[in-house]
Structure 1
Amino acid sequence: MPADNSCISISGPWQHRFVQANGAQFHIAHAGTYSDTRPLVLLVHGFPQYWWAWREQIAPLAAAGFEVAAIDKRGFGGSDKTPNSADALLLTDDLIALVHSLGYDRAFLVGLGRGGALAWSAVSKAPDLFAGLVTVSSPHPRTLHRLGMHLTLRTWRHAIDSFLTPLAEKKLQDSRHIAQLLQEWSAPGNNGAAGQAELYTQALRLPGVARAALAQLRWTLLSQHSARGRQYLRESANPVKVPILAVRGALDPLLPPRAWNKDVEFARGSYELLTIAQAGHFVPEEQPAAFTDALRIFLQTHC
Structure 2
Amino acid sequence: MGEHRDDLPLVLLIHGFPEYWWAWRNQIQTIADAGYEVAAIDQRGIAGSDKTPNSSDALTLAQDISAIARSLGASRIVVVGHGRGGQLAWAAPALAPGMVEGVLTFSAPHARAIQRPGTHLTLRTWRHVLTTFVPPLARRGLTDPVSLEHLLAEWSAPGNDGASSQAQIYAAAMRLPEAAGISLDQLRWSYTAVQRPTGRRYFELTKNAIEVPVWSVRGQLDPLLPERAWRQDHTFTTGNFRQITVANSGHFIPEEVPEESSQIILEFLHHVAHQA
* Smaller-chain TM-score bracket: over 0.9
**Cα shift at 1:272:** 0.5
Work out which of the residue numbers 276, 281, 296 in structure 1 matches 2:246: 276
Aligned equivalent of 1:183, options 133, 147, 153: 153
Q: Deviations over 1:107-159 (max 9, x none)?
A: 10000000000111112222311111000000001111122111111111100
1:151 corresponding residue in structure 2: 121
RMSD: 1.2
How many percent identity over aligned positions?
51
8 Å CA contact retained: 1:185, 1:254: yes
Give how far 1:216 is off.
0.3
Counting only pairs closer than 5 Å after superposition, residues 61-140 of structure 1 correspond to structure 2 as 61-140=31-110
Q: Name the amino acid aligned to 1:56.
A: N
Q: 1:51, 1:117 → 2: CA distance? A: 16
Displacement of 1:61 after TM fit?
A: 0.5
What displacement does 1:171 show? Answer: 2.0
SS in 2 for 1:76: coil
Task: Measure the CA separation in 2 of the matches of 1:166 and 1:258.
Answer: 33
Match of 2:217 among 247, 251, 269: 247
Q: Secondary structure at the match of 2:238?
A: coil
Residue 196 (structure 1) aligned with residue 179 (structure 2):
no
Is 1:220 aligned to residue 214 of structure 2? no
Q: Which residue of 1 aligns with 2:13?
A: 43
Q: 1:57/1:228 Cα in 2 relative to 1: closer, same or farther (>3 Å)?
A: same
Following superposition, the deviation at residue 32 of structure 1 comes to 7.3
* 1:4-23 correspondence runs (5 A): none
- Aligned equivalents of 1:70 and 1:33: distance in 2? 19
Q: Structure 2 CA distance, aligned partners of 1:256 and 1:49?
A: 21
TM-score by length of 1: 0.88
Name the CA distance, whole Å, in 2 between partners of 1:124 and 1:258.
Answer: 25
TM-score by length of structure 2 reads 0.96
CA–CA separation in structure 1 for the residues paired with 2:209 and 2:197: 22
More displaced 10-residue stretch of structure 1: 58-67 or 172-181: 172-181
Gaps of 5+ in 2: none
Give the paired residue count. Answer: 273
Aligned partners of 1:127 and 1:242 also within 8 Å: no
